[in-house]
Chain A
């Protein structure tokens, strides 16, 4: 266990479904991140939150909607996804993203999403 917990580990959803991914950290970090890793591609940064405020959105389609109710929890709400959105979705946390405090990011184990 890394201290960053993601649920569910695996998710299969239809293109008309609505689902949510959850991330939780108990490391005292104030920044949280969503990354996407498609097959044979590098990790892509999707969203960044610092102190519950979204500070970065890397041109992510609106069918992905993040939510950060507090510094310990991060959600990714999914709706009307496409098959090409199938990927490993990784959550990470750190001290604020503008500092080098605690040795960088701690990642969760990810949610393997399959869109059918």
Chain B
């Protein structure tokens, strides 16, 4: 299967600072990547869909100025949490789509645990 990596795996930052999370597709090109957050014992919540070379599409209720997404290349998307606050502490997971001749698969990265103190 396709491999998606994320960096860092864990980050602790102080309230008011910004944090950048990188998501890379290692063995394929991803025109579309997705960013999710997950709270303990809950399912995945889609935050935004990012398409290479264009602006991200944010889900309702997600602040686009707070969660900046950049998808500058076919193998890299970044999520920047700006002016982080404790309520932004969560597990952030990226995902990349592989679509080929009618088949569709979506692979996830290992996740980034963000703790804001």
A and B interact? no
